[in-house]
Amino acid sequence: MNNFSKFLKQTTKSQQESIRAYHLGQLKVWLKKSSDRHSAWIYLPLRWLASLFNIKALTPIPNRGGSRAILCEAYRIQDLQGIGVSTPNILAISPSGLLLEDAAQMGEDVIQLDHALAMYQDDSERKFELFEDAVKAIQEVHQKDGYLSEAFARNILVSKDKQFTFIDFETDPGEVLDIETCQIRDWLCFIFSTAYRFTEEEIPRICQIFINTVFPYKKIYKGIKSIGKKLAWAKKIKFDKFGNDGKRIQKCLMFFQILEQEEPLPMI
């Protein structure tokens, strides 16, 4: 048993949090401890939406918790690394926990994409550039016949030299969805969590960026557009009255409204 495995075995017994950072000498690590599975009722609203509007990509992905979630994360990390996708390195694994190397070891000053976009809230061009780089990074995963698990901006890390690392793989959409739908789901998660960081005037520009990158992949592009059409009715609802989540939905719907264009637009 190596030192990482010993640390994992000893620390999971005392750690109360589901995830916590530690420093082992000069190395920063994260210990993810197995936790109870999520109750089935949490997924009912998504199941209803998926069924009501026939949106397969919204099918809830079960997080079974415990050792099964730990093994799922390890498998997904190894699978993605096998096709050249940047994810945290696994240092040790057991049924009760997973020890991961901090992504900062792979790039300096790594931060969540959501935080990076917030930092540039007054610099539109920097935000557009960062958004475009992230779109291309996800598209590279898809071009390798890969997909992520929860492609929200909080689960995408970016370094100063614009290297992207993906995290959080306790679920595997591939268990219940085909690969094409998994990739469409990635984009829905990404759009929902990034459009919020742009003003109403900036939304058309990021939509252009997205179209110009994804348009060549016809099936995925058409699948995303079809979801936007199904949700068009929701534009009449004043989501901004429902807090930050409502504002995120409203910006997402603005994005889909612009996506009605048939061809990619020339970049400004």
Token pair recorded at residue 10: 């000893």
- Residue 266 has a pLDDT of 54
Task: Write out pLDDT tens, residues 252-267.
Answer: 888 988 887 655 555 5
Separation CA 166–CA 158 (nearest Å): 9
Look at 111 and 43; give whichever has higher pLDDT: 111
pLDDT on residue 263 = 58
**How sure is the predictor about 191, in pLDDT bands with cuts at 50, 70 and 90?**
very high
Q: What pLDDT band is residue 73 in, cutting at 50, 70 and 90?
A: very high
Q: Is the pLDDT of residue 173 over 70?
A: yes
Comparing 85 with 59, which gets the higher pLDDT?
85
pLDDT (0 to 100) of residue 109: 78
pLDDT at 56 over 90: no
- pLDDT tens per residue across span 110-167: 899 999 999 999 999 999 999 999 999 999 999 999 999 989 999 999 998 889 999 9
pLDDT: which is higher, 228 or 75: 75
Packing angle of the helix pair 179-194, 218-230 (nearest 10 deg): 60
For residues 223-237, one letter each, b for 16 or more C-beta atoms within 10 angstroms of the residue's C-beta and e for the rest, the string is bbbebbeebeeeeee
Spatial CA neighbour of 76 closest among 152, 150, 148: 148
Do 36 and 63 touch, CB atoms closer than 8 A?
Answer: no
CB of 106 closer than 8 Å to CB of 163:
yes
> Given this model, what pLDDT does residue 259 score?
85
What pLDDT sits at residue 129? 96
pLDDT higher than 80, residue 57: yes
H, E, C per residue of 88-153: CCEEEEECCEEEEECHHHHCCCCEEHHHHHHHCCCCHHHHHHHHHHHHHHHHHHHHCCCCCCCCCH
Query: Smallest Cα–Cα separation from 100: which of 158, 167, 35, 15?
Result: 167
Confidence class for position 178, pLDDT limits 50, 70, 90: very high
> Where do the domains of the chain lie?
3-103
pTM greater than 0.85 = yes
How far apart are the C-alpha atoms of 241 and 27, rounded to whole Å? 45
Strands (E), the chain: 19-24, 27-33, 90-94, 97-101, 111-112, 156-158, 164-166
Dist CA 181 CA 190 (whole Å): 14
pLDDT number for residue 85: 97
Q: How far apart are the C-alpha atoms of 202 and 242, rounded to whole Å?
A: 22
Q: Which of 24-33, 40-49, 143-152 has the lowest mean pLDDT?
A: 40-49
Please give the average per-residue pLDDT across 184-213, as a whole number: 93
pLDDT value of position 104: 84
Helix (H/G/I), strand (E/B), else coil: 86: coil
Identify the helix (H) or strand (E) that includes residue 243.
Answer: helix 243-258
How far lies 102's CA from each of 46, 56, 111, 258, in Å? 32, 34, 11, 38
Share of the chain above pLDDT 70, in %: 84
Evaluate whether 110 touches 104 at the Cβ level (below 8 Å). Answer: yes
Average pLDDT, the chain: 86
* 232-259 pLDDT per residue, tens: 766 666 666 666 666 777 888 889 888 8
Task: Tell me which amino acid residue 97 is.
Answer: G
176 by DSSP, 3-state: which?
coil
* Lookup: tokens for 206: 């990021």
Q: Which of 12-16, 46-50, 106-110, 261-265 shows the lowest mean pLDDT across its residues?
A: 261-265
